[in-house]
């Protein structure tokens, strides 16, 4: 793979604008190469006899001898050998962070203006990269200082909770050392008597005691075990001062409905209670903060390395194109700059790793590095094999169902309508789920292809996100189960004696639902447990809205559920059919009851209500007026859904007018919001007219096709109002299923462009890592 493609593939995509523009500089070098080719002198053919070998001019120079050590004191030098090509200087105007400028010393030569353009743009790129790098280094330094303060508070809390015994000898050594050494840091506090635990050995109960000279201690204690050195090292122990807890408030309450209600009624207590539960939660939060901080440091290290390598590559390409020797001078300047010096960043990464291993995994380096540097799961051949197997089985089962229907003439059977009214809704539920999973798998494939950082956007734990093959594997596995059950249940002949259908066959759909729920809630570490639990946690947040802080995965999942209204209604039908109906005779009357009709409306508006409440919470927390407009949009959808359902149940001109007007309003509002707000398209003055300035898909026609499809599929809302409930030869239940599938397809299309727009927003803000809330808040007034 060429370096340009390798460079682009390894970028932190959210920082892509801050990387060196390698392709542009490569294009300038191509212009220089073309100019030299156009103006190159023609070779002197007459000087060499026809058919003879052309020898280089250097082969005719005087031989200088085998023992000559390149001493040319008496011979004239070639002025091009040692002649300086560029002069790189660092300018530091007042108030600036430094500016590097390259002076090209051969601008008077033919084509020199092209090379001047190259070095001018090279300087611009280097200064851009250097400025961004310095800014990020400053940010991580400030964050490192904050984490250090947090660690001081955490260690003090550990001492207060665990009450370790620091032995009399070590305490005496500490007091003697601090008394005799005037240049020592602040005196080490003596642990009070009530905090000591005689039953615990020296320093056994706590490993988090800080060292004033920690690095020196580790080196010396590992090199020698002599008693005098041990005493010397022991004198360096300095327990963390517990007085800092007087200026600290704790922020470790988990995000639960109860904590939210406490904050609303202002009964939250942020004072420390010195309990083990507090300590455990604080440690968990600090652990997450260190993992995220280490990830940020690694991204910054990768950014530095790739840019330094890119500058080296482009300068070598310049030397090759122009036959000059300028790369060494420029490389020396880079090495002396902050970008070339990686010691500070490497030491910080090493210090973070050592601290994490020591304080959070009890010194287990393998376990600590596994947490700090999680490896992405490799896709095994087993996944590909079973994906092909299940996909082939699904196709075979679909073909078998079609053949069975044709051979047995089931479309003309007298009980056909009974089967469609009662059995088809039970199995169509699985069809909706499989179709949504297939659309998500396709989205994952295209997100990865166009480098959309979907794991970061969704907040997946690094290395646990599902790839598209894994999603397709789950979808194909579920489809095999559902299709096999459908083929086995494709029976319309009732027992003439009992006048009932076989109980086992009639319970197959219900057993499938239980199997699906068992897989989802299975606590064992099988079938992608982390992804299942992430889904369950997010679904719980949606159901409990607005009692949880709204994150992007929460409202994305709620949006997915708004496209699964028919699936939710099918779940309601399961209860109706198996609890109040007579599944042995495939009959039920609960659908005609008023309670069922009311519940039909209630369950359908649950996902829209969840999104409405989420928008209101974000409006109050973020003070963003757009969230208020979004809430109105979902409220209008709820009203339209209620009116359409009432019109379907009651009929009449009044209900038809109400359903048509509310559906029209919400269709227009939702379509505008999809295209302009969620997708960021339809911008007249952008660089790509009627689209947006930045596009990931290289073909603009894709965006226009998506716009048209979204509008058409949004109009499916109107099919009920226009009395389009069935097509000739198609059962109403089948038509409803087709409409529901079209909505799922529209949601899958929406997902891709919604996350593309979110990703581009992160790129515009250079946001490549998430912020983790810290457990301790320092009271600055008390600490002054």
- Exposure of 708 by Cβ count < 10 A (0-12 exposed, 13-18 middle, 19+ buried)? exposed
Q: How far apart are CA 220 and CA 779, in angstroms?
A: 38
- In this prediction, residue 4 carries a pLDDT of 85
Q: Is 111 left (phi over 0), alpha (psi -120 to 50) or beta?
A: left
In angstroms, the Cα distances linking 40 to 48, 80, 85, 109, 325 are 19, 18, 20, 13, 20
Q: How far apart are CA 52 and CA 703, in angstroms?
A: 62
Q: Which residues contact 736 (CB under 8 A, 6 or more apart)?
A: 566
In angstroms, the Cα distances linking 232 to 184, 213, 229, 237, 692 are 14, 11, 5, 10, 67
Residue 216 lies in a domain: no
Residue 485 lies in a domain: yes
Q: Which tokens hold the place of 150?
A: 């947090």
- In this prediction, residue 186 carries a pLDDT of 33
Is residue 213 within 8 Å of 236, Cβ to Cβ? Answer: yes
Nearest to 164 by CA among 193, 209, 206, 208: 206
Q: How far apart are CA 655 and CA 227, in angstroms?
A: 93
Q: Is 459 left (phi over 0), alpha (psi -120 to 50) or beta?
A: left
Sign of the Cα pseudo-torsion (219, 221, 223, 226, in order): positive
**Boundaries of domain holding 614:** 381-522+531-764
Sign of the Cα pseudo-torsion (749, 752, 754, 760, in order): negative
In angstroms, the Cα distances linking 515 to 510, 512, 527, 532 are 9, 5, 13, 14
Residue 597 lies in a domain: yes
**Beta-bridge partners for 563:** none
The helix (run of H) or strand (run of E) holding residue 171 is: helix 168-180
Nearest to 81 by CA among 54, 101, 61, 53: 61
Residues of the chain with pLDDT under 50: 45-60, 63-82, 93-96, 167-224, 226, 234, 267-268, 781, 783-784
Longest Cα pair distance anywhere in the chain, in angstroms? Answer: 122
Residue 636 lies in a domain: yes
- In this prediction, residue 166 carries a pLDDT of 52
In angstroms, the Cα distances linking 336 to 71, 121, 130, 349 are 32, 20, 12, 21
Q: How far apart are CA 153 and CA 778, in angstroms?
A: 9
State residue 185 phi and psi, 5-degree precision.
Answer: -70, -170
**DSSP state at residue 91:** E
CA 169: distance to chain centroid?
A: 52
- In this prediction, residue 637 carries a pLDDT of 92
Nearest to 27 by CA among 314, 309, 313, 307: 314
Helix ranges restricted to H, 489-578: 503-506, 508-521, 529-543, 552-562, 565-575
Residue 453 lies in a domain: yes
Residue 783 lies in a domain: no
Structural domain total, the chain: 1
**DSSP state at residue 207:** S
- Going through 58-177 in order, the beta strands assigned E by DSSP cover 86-91, 99-104
Residue 174 lies in a domain: no
Residue 277 lies in a domain: no
In this prediction the pTM is 0.81
User: SS in 3 state form for 616-664?
Assistant: HHHHHHHCCHHHHHHHHHHHHHHHHHHHHHHHHHHCCHHHHHHHHHHHH
Q: How far apart are CA 70 and CA 143, in angstroms?
A: 55
Q: Which tokens hold the place of 25?
A: 């500089």
Q: How far apart are CA 680 and CA 687, in angstroms?
A: 13
- Residue in the structure block whose two tokens are 């991204």: 299
Q: Which tokens hold the place of 672?
A: 């505008």
């Amino acid at each position: 793979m060429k370096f340009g493609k390798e460079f682009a593939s390894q970028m932190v995509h959210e920082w892509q604008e801050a990387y060196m523009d390698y392709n542009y500089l490569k294009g300038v070098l191509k212009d220089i190469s073309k100019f030299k080719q156009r103006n190159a002198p023609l070779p002197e053919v007459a000087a060499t006899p026809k058919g003879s070998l052309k020898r280089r001019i250097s082969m005719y120079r005087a031989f200088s001898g085998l023992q000559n050590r390149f001493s040319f004191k008496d011979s004239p030098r070639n002025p091009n050998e040692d002649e300086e090509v560029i002069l790189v200087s660092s300018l530091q105007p007042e108030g600036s962070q430094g500016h590097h400028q390259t002076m090209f010393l051969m601008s008077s030569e033919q084509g020199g203006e092209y090379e001047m353009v190259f070095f001018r743009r090279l300087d611009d790129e280097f200064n851009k990269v250097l400025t961004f790098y310095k800014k990020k280094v400053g940010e991580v330094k400030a964050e490192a200082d904050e984490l250090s303060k947090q660690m001081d508070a955490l260690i003090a809390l550990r001492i207060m909770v665990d009450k370790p015994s620091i032995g009399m000898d070590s305490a005496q050594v500490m007091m003697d050392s601090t008394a005799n050494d005037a240049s020592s840091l602040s005196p080490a506090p003596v642990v009070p008597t009530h905090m000591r635990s005689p039953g615990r050995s020296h320093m056994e109960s706590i490993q988090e005691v800080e060292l004033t000279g920690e690095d020196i201690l580790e080196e010396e204690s590992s090199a020698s075990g002599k008693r005098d050195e041990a005493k010397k090292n022991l004198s360096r122990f300095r327990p963390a001062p517990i007085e800092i807890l007087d200026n600290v408030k704790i922020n470790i309450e988990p995000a639960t409905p109860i904590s939210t209600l406490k904050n609303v009624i202002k009964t939250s207590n942020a004072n420390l209670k010195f309990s083990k539960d507090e300590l455990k939660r604080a440690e968990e939060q600090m652990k997450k903060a260190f993992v995220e901080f280490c990830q940020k440091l690694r991204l910054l290290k990768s950014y530095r390395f790739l840019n330094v390598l890119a500058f080296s590559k482009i300068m070598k390409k310049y030397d090759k194109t122009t036959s000059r020797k300028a790369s060494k001078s420029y490389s020396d300047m880079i090495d002396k700059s902050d970008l070339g010096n990686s010691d500070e960043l490497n030491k910080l990464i090493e210090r973070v790793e050592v601290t994490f291993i020591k304080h959070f995994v009890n010194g287990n380096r393998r376990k600590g590095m596994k947490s700090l540097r999680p490896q992405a799961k490799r896709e095994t051949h087993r996944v590909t094999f079973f994906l092909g197997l299940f996909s082939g089985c699904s196709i075979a089962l679909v073909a078998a169902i079609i053949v069975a229907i044709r051979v047995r003439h089931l479309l003309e059977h007298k009980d056909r309508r009974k089967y469609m009214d009662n059995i088809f809704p039970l199995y169509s539920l699985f069809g909706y789920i499989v179709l949504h999973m297939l659309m998500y798998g396709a989205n994952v494939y295209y997100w990865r292809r166009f480098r959309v950082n979907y794991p970061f956007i969704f907040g997946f734990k690094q290395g646990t996100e599902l790839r598209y093959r894994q999603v397709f594997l789950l979808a194909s596995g579920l489809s095999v189960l559902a299709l096999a059950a459908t083929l086995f249940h494709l029976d319309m002949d009732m027992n003439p004696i009992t006048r009932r259908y076989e109980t086992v066959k009639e319970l197959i759909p219900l057993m499938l639902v239980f199997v699906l729920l068992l897989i989802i809630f299975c606590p064992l570490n099988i079938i992608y447990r982390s992804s299942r639990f992430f889904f369950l946690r997010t679904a719980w947040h949606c159901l409990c809205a607005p009692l949880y802080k709204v994150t992007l995965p929460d409202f994305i999942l709620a949006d997915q559920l708004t496209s699964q209204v028919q699936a939710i209604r099918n779940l309601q039908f399961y209860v109706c059919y198996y609890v109040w109906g007579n599944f042995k005779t495939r009959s039920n009357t609960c659908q005609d009851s008023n309670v069922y009709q009311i519940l039909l409306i209630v369950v359908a508006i649950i996902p829209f209500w969840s999104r409405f409440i989420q928008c209101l919470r974000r409006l109050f927390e973020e003070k963003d007026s757009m969230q208020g407009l979004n809430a109105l949009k979902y409220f209008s959808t709820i009203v339209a859904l209620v009116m359409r359902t009432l019109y379907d149940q009651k009929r009449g001109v009044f209900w038809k007018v109400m359903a048509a007007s509310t559906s029209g309003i919400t269709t227009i509002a939702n379509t505008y919001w999809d295209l302009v707000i969620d997708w960021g398209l339809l911008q007249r003055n952008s660089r790509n007219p009627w689209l947006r300035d930045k596009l990931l898909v290289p073909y603009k026609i894709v965006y226009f096709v998506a716009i048209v499809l979204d509008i058409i599929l949004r109009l499916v809302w109107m099919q009920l109002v226009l009395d389009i409930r069935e097509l000739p030869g198609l059962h109403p239940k089948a038509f409803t299923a087709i409409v529901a599938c079209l909505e799922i397809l529209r949601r899958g299309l929406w997902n891709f462009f919604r996350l593309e727009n979110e990703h581009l927003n992160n790129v515009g803000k250079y946001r490549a890592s998430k912020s983790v809330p810290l457990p301790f808040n320092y009271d600055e007034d008390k600490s002054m």
